[in-house]
Chain A
Amino acid sequence: MPPLSRWYIKLAIVYFIAALVVGALQALLDIPYLGPAYVHMLVVGWITQMIFGVAYWMFPKYSPEAPRGDNAIAVATFALLNGGLLLRIVVEPLRAWHPGAAPGWLLVVAGAAQALAGVGFALNTWPRVKIR
Chain B
Amino acid sequence: MPRVSVWFVRASLCHLVAGFGIGALLLASKGVTLAAGVWALRGVHIELLLVGWMIQLVMGVAVWIFPRMGLRRAPQRSAVTAWLAFALLNGGVLLVSLGGPLFAVGRLMEVTAAASFAAHLWGRVSPGLSEI
Contact = CB atoms under 8 A, between A and B. Distances in A.
Contacts of B25: 111
B3 A125 contact: no
A9 to B, nearest CB: 16
Interface residues of A, number: 31
Majority secondary structure, B binding face? helix
B113 interface: no
A132 B1 CA distance: 5
B31 A105 contact: yes
A126 B16 CA distance: 12
Nearest to A106: B31
A110 B27 contact: yes
Contacts of B17: 115, 118-119, 122
B49 to A, nearest CB: 7
A114 interface: yes
A92 B27 CA distance: 8
Contacts of A21: none
Contacts of B5: 129
Nearest to B50: A43
Given A92-B30, A106-B31, A122-B14, A117 B1 contact: no
Q: Count chain A CB atoms within 10 A of each CB in B2, B24, B25 and give the residue with the most.
A: B24
Interface in A34-66: 43, 47-48, 51, 60
Contact of A47 (B13, B20, B54): B54
Interface string B19-52: 1110111111011100000000000000001000
A27 interface: no
A125 B13 contact: yes
A129 B54 CA distance: 16
A131 interface: yes
A95 interface: yes
A74 interface: no
A79 interface: no
Interface of A: 43, 47-48, 51, 60, 88, 91-92, 95, 103-108, 110-112, 114-115, 117-119, 121-122, 125-126, 129-132
Given A88-B27, A121-B13, 12 more contacts: A60-B1, A95-B31, A105-B32, A107-B27, A112-B24, A114-B23, A114-B24, A115-B20, A121-B16, A126-B13, A129-B1, A131-B3
